């Protein structure tokens, strides 16, 4: 008779439990280490997007109001006139009211410029309002001066910054002045974090100033050239009209010459007729009288021949005067056409220059 069968239960050994606990601890350590890093990554991404949004808002403000906004020195989200550093005036720019972005702006760009861009358009009065072209020219002047931002070592139009620890910002104005610009050496007292800045030339480029100014100035120069061409064409047309009047006077003189030559021929023929009459009715008993009669006939015939020559010359002059008048009228007609075309081109170029000057950087 066999004895009862005893079943032995097997559980985790101490070694297995220790290994499992070790793995769980390592996983927990990795997870708790990555959670803050993930939060930092998400926060950095949010800050980058907010800075990009803030920069676009600054560009829109500059395009619309022709200047950068003043900084918010008291934290109410509104610009404080004359303030060059502090918080970004988020409410003025339409950004979230709880956004805390350090901001520094060039003092020369806080006020709209006057009518700096005023092209001289010959023959026209241009009184365009202050617009983006004036801002573009003002940016060129500011860039030429090379004045850096207050407290910073590099010339820039504006700088934006978001410190990693917002609570560490005590004095926003001092913190904004101590922003470390991208590519520049760290500034003493600056807080670590994201920064974004644009030079005066870069701001001008983002506003498409080079293209707009180039087009406006090119149109103004084209208008000036078209005006000069129109003036030359008008002078030429006036001269050709004078030439026509001169040829008309010459034609009348030629007609008068023909009439005078015809009269001379008539008188010469009349003289010959008298000579013939005297010859037929005279007494030619002596050789002297015969010689006188022959001389009278010769003189009369010479007068007739010369009168015929004068008539021929006068007729040639008349034909030449008529041809010259026709040529002068043809040239004057072409000069009139060129004058009209030049005047039309001048008016079009002038209107284009005016339109670009008035449009500013909006077109």
pLDDT for 284: 56
- On whether the CB atoms of residues 154 and 184 are closer than 8 A, the answer is yes
Instruction: Give the model confidence (pLDDT) of 290-317 as tens digits.
Output: 676 677 767 777 877 887 888 888 889 8
Instruction: Give the model confidence (pLDDT) of 267-278 as tens digits.
Output: 878 877 777 776
Instruction: Give the model confidence (pLDDT) of 128-157 as tens digits.
Output: 678 888 999 899 888 888 766 655 556 788
Q: Is 165 exposed, middle or buried (0-12, 13-18, 19+ CB in 10 A)?
A: exposed
- On whether the CB atoms of residues 161 and 76 are closer than 8 A, the answer is no
Residues of the chain with CATH 1.10.287.620: 222-359
- On whether the CB atoms of residues 248 and 332 are closer than 8 A, the answer is no
Chain-wide mean pLDDT for the chain?
Answer: 80
Q: Which CATH superfamily is domain 222-359 in?
A: Helix Hairpins (1.10.287.620)
- With 0.85 as the threshold, say if the pTM is over it: no
Give the CA radius of gyration of the chain: 50
């Amino acid at each position: 008779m066999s004895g009862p069968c005893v079943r032995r239960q097997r559980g985790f050994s101490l070694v297995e439990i220790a290994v499992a606990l070790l793995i769980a601890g390592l996983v927990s350590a990795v997870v708790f280490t990555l959670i803050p890093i993930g939060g930092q990554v998400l926060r950095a991404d949010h800050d980058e997007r907010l800075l990009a949004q803030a920069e676009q808002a600054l560009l829109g403000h500059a395009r619309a109001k022709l200047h950068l906004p003043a900084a918010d020195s008291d934290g109410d989200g509104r610009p404080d006139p004359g303030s060059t550093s502090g918080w970004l005036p988020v409410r003025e720019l339409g950004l979230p009211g709880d956004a805390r972005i350090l901001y520094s702006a060039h003092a020369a760009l806080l006020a709209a410029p006057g009518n700096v861009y005023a092209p001289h358009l010959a023959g026209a009065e241009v009184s365009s309002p202050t617009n983006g072209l004036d801002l573009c020219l003002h940016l060129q002047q500011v860039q030429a001066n090379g004045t850096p931002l207050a407290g910073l070592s590099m010339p820039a139009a504006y700088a934006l910054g978001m410190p990693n620890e917002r609570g560490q910002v005590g004095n926003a104005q001092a913190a904004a002045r101590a922003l470390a610009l991208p590519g520049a050496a760290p500034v003493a007292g600056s807080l670590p974090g994201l920064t974004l800045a644009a030079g005066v030339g870069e701001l001008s480029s983002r506003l498409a100033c080079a293209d707009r100014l180039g087009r406006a100035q090119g149109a103004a120069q084209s208008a000036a050239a078209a005006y000069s061409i129109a003036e030359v064409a008008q002078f030429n047309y006036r001269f050709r009209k004078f030439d026509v009047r001169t040829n008309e006077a010459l034609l009348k003189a030629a007609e008068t010459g023909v009439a005078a030559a015809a009269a001379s021929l008539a008188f010469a023929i009349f003289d010959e007729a008298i000579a013939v009459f005297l010859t037929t009715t005279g007494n030619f008993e002596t050789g002297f009288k015969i010689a006188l009669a022959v001389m009278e006939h010769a003189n009369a015939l010479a007068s007739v021949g010369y009168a015929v020559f004068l008539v021929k010359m006068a007729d040639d002059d008349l034909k030449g005067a008529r041809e010259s008048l026709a040529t002068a009228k043809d040239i004057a007609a072409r000069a009139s056409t060129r004058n009209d075309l030049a005047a039309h081109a001048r008016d079009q170029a002038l209107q284009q220059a005016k339109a670009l000057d008035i449009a500013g950087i909006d077109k």
